[in-house]
Amino acid sequence: MEAVLERRADPPQQVVVDTGNEGQRIDNFLMTRLKGVPRSRIYRTVRTGEVRVNGGRIRPDYRLRQGDVVRIPPLRVAQSPPAARPGARALREIGEAVLYEDRSLLVLAKPSGLAVHGGSGLSHGVIELLRALRPEAPFLELVHRLDRDTSGCLMVAKRRPALRTLHQALREGRVEKTYLALVRGDWRAARGVAMPLQRNVLRSGERVVRPDEDGKGALTRFAPLARSPLATLVKAQPVTGRTHQIRVHAAHAGHPIAGDAKYGDAELNRNLRALGLRRLFLHAHGLRFPHPDGDATVEVVAPLPEDLRAVLAALGLEAP
């Protein structure tokens, strides 16, 4: 149950951003300053203008610059029972999911069904599990995000300078992401889908993304790997990083992703459920990025999970 929020009589904080927080998203910055405040409440505080940067309103994805003055409203969380510690099985699974690690970062294979962070009724996501598993770690922060139902490669920074450098690499398009997706129908040729996307938040709080010429530019490259009359396994490479981008672009191209309850095809999902598909068939298969500490290039691959391999086998398709 979400804790009750109370407004204090104290004046708002005026925080000047230093080099240590430069480049950080405002929502993540506020999470560290407003301990215990649910992320949903932080987003609402930003949207209503209670949080301001240099006197003006900003979006939750605004990235801080050195010297910015952030107005933080005086919120506190009423006393509530402490969150339950994650179970030993969950901690063991997240520990075994690490694919690559050095002093600055780690990459793990996120399981489908596990959110990257807690909130919206979830006590623990990937980052909370990692912090519970490694209480001695001084710094663990998500570099990017994956949808809850998407499996595969997820980067976590272990040092703030690494986080800033990797965020810059993401903004400059120097991080190559490769996904595997099973889509409806016989997709025969490689193609790029360039369609601006607009993110909307429904009154229920659910995020929905739609193609919109007035939205933000977005480009995804698709290439077929294995085909059957019912579905095609494709490689998807997002050039931009919009919310739900691959899912919406695949649906816009006439080939929605199998198992997608939000943007997908209900009949396809029923047919593939009979073959064992119980979730979204979208897997973050590989990452290629410049190491934040030097000139080396890091490449990490997360093998396709067994449940998705079984679905491909049932369709007579070979898994990569």
DSSP letters for 10-32 = SPPEEEE--TTTTT-BHHHHHHH
Asked whether residue 290 carries a pLDDT value surpassing 70, the answer given is yes
Domain ranges in the chain are 5-77, 88-166, 173-314
Q: Do domains 88-166 and 173-314 have the same CATH topology?
A: yes
Q: pLDDT tens across 38-94, in order?
A: 888 888 889 999 999 999 999 988 999 888 999 998 876 555 555 567 788 889 999
In degrees and rounded to multiples of 5, residue 163 shows phi and psi of: -60, -45
| 70: Cα separation from own chain's centroid | 25
Confidence grade of residue 121 (pLDDT, cut at 50, 70, 90): low
Homologous superfamily, domain 88-166: Pseudouridine synthase (3.30.2350.10)
The CATH T-level fold of domain 5-77 is: 3.10.290
Contact 156, 106 (CB under 8 A): yes
Query: Does the annotation mark 293 as catalytic?
Result: no
Contact 292, 166 (CB under 8 A): yes
Q: Sign of torsion, CA 244 172 128 283?
A: positive
Given the residues 27, 68, 147, 265, select the one marked as catalytic. 147
Confidence grade of residue 119 (pLDDT, cut at 50, 70, 90): low
Contact 258, 233 (CB under 8 A): no
Whole-angstrom Cα Rg for the chain: 21
pTM for the full predicted model: 0.77
In degrees and rounded to multiples of 5, residue 258 shows phi and psi of: -60, 140
**CATH number of the domain at 173-314, out of 3.30.70.1230, 3.40.50.720, 3.40.50.2000, 3.30.2350.10?**
3.30.2350.10
Collapsing DSSP to helix, strand or coil, 280 comes out as: coil
